[in-house]
């Protein structure tokens, strides 16, 4: 409470100067961490420009690197090369193509995502229609790929909320300490839990995401937004670590390809592909026949209904000029409300 009172009187600077930042720095250093008062005092919040692609006439906006948002966009551009209207929403053909698109998108993500101050990811190429077409040609409609890499060489405790008003103002917001409770450290006398995002740095000196002073690590958390004909269509976000970008693509496809409501699109059964183990988790609700067919096509399928794998999200969508409709994922605590 004392911290919030100080924040209310003096603004956000109280977190980076004075006794609060001293407590944070001392806590980290007492546990062998590398953090200085200068690190906090020199911190400045950056305003970044969202990245976007058009998916079947709807502009989808995501957070740029160092976030994983461009993987959702890349996945959607690959999916766009296929005619999903020919597939049932719960068909093995649709899920197979989405899983394969995810593999290719995340291969580029893990190869090119880093602090843009240190490495400029070739987003114009990665998100282009031509590149998506090239990547789509590597997908076998009847067989799962086991070897997936970037097509371009180098040159859990999350909270999400969306809100909108009657004057076209809207916010898509997400925050997380990472790994449940972050570092597990709390700065004495502040109640402030310290995050653990540095865990996502690479130790490979040749990788764009290799750790370095004053550098941002790869980030999983990504708020999303939708525009159609340059008008705000909706805000959305799905929590769940590495699941987020692939979940965003599935959600957008549910909305646009199958005209679901935000609640239906959020509740719909999802898959989760693990990039390291090449295993595919399927949620309850995906028919057994689909699972069997995916196995026949070479997918290593496993069942796990844990929120850890499938996250949870919220969404608000414009219904007409005067009305918004919202949905809150059943997988986690949340609520859709109008006021």
Give residue 303's pLDDT.
74
In 38-189 the beta strands, taken as DSSP E runs, fall at 51-55, 58-62, 159-164, 170-175, 186-187
What is the distance between the alpha carbons of residues 312 and 249, in angstroms, rounded to a whole number? 14
What is the distance between the alpha carbons of residues 122 and 130, in angstroms, rounded to a whole number? 14
pLDDT tens digits for 98-152? Answer: 999 999 999 999 999 999 999 999 999 999 999 999 999 999 999 999 988 888 8
C-alpha dihedral, 228 to 233 to 236 to 242, nearest 10°: 0
Q: Which two tokens stand for residue 145?
A: 């790929």
End-to-end Cα separation, the chain, in angstroms: 27
What is the distance between the alpha carbons of residues 258 and 267, in angstroms, rounded to a whole number? 14
| CA of residue 295 relative to chain centroid, distance | 27
Give residue 282's pLDDT.
94
Give pTM, 2 decimals: 0.84
Only one residue has tokens 């930042």, namely 21
Decide: 72 and 248 in contact? Cβ < 8 Å: yes
pLDDT tens digits for 193-204? Answer: 888 888 889 999
Residues in the chain, total: 339
Q: What is the mean pLDDT of residues 176-190?
A: 80
Decide: 264 and 254 in contact? Cβ < 8 Å: yes
Q: Spell out the domains of the chain, with CATH numbers in brackets.
A: 52-157+220-328 (1.10.246.130)
> What integer best gives the mean pLDDT of the chain?
90
């Amino acid at each position: 409470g004392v911290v919030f009172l100080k924040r209310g009187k003096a603004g956000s600077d109280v977190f980076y100067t004075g006794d609060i930042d001293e407590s944070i720095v001392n806590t980290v250093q007492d546990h062998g961490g590398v953090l200085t008062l200068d690190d906090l005092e020199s911190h400045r919040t950056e305003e970044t420009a969202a990245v976007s692609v058009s998916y079947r006439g709807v502009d989808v906006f995501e957070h740029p690197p160092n976030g994983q948002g461009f993987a959702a966009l890349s996945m959607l551009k690959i999916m766009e090369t296929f005619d999903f209207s020919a597939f049932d929403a719960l068909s093995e053909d649709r899920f197979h193509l989405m899983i394969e698109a995810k593999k290719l998108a995340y291969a580029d993500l893990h190869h090119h995502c880093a602090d843009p101050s240190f490495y400029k990811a070739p987003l114009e190429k990665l998100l282009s229609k031509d590149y998506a077409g090239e990547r789509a040609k590597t997908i076998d409609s009847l067989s799962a790929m086991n070897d997936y890499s970037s097509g371009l060489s180098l040159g859990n405790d999350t909270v999400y909320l969306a809100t909108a008003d009657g004057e076209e103002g809207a916010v898509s917001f997400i925050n997380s300490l990472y790994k449940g409770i972050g570092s597990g450290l709390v700065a004495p006398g502040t109640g402030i839990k310290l995050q653990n995002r540095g865990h996502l740095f690479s130790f490979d000196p040749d990788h764009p995401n290799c750790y370095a002073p004053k550098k941002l690590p790869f980030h999983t958390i990504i708020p999303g937004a939708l525009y159609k004909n340059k008008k705000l269509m909706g805000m959305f976000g799905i929590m769940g670590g590495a699941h987020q970008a692939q979940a965003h693509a599935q959600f957008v496809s549910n909305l646009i390809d199958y005209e679901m409501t935000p609640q239906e699109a959020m509740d719909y059964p999802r898959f989760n592909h693990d990039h390291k183990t090449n295993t595919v988790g399927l949620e309850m609700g995906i028919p057994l026949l689909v699972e069997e067919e995916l196995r026949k096509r070479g997918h290593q399928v496993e069942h796990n209904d844990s929120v850890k794998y499938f996250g949870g999200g919220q969404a608000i969508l414009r219904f007409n000029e005067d009305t918004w409709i919202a949905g809150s994922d059943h997988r986690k605590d949340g609520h859709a409300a109008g006021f």
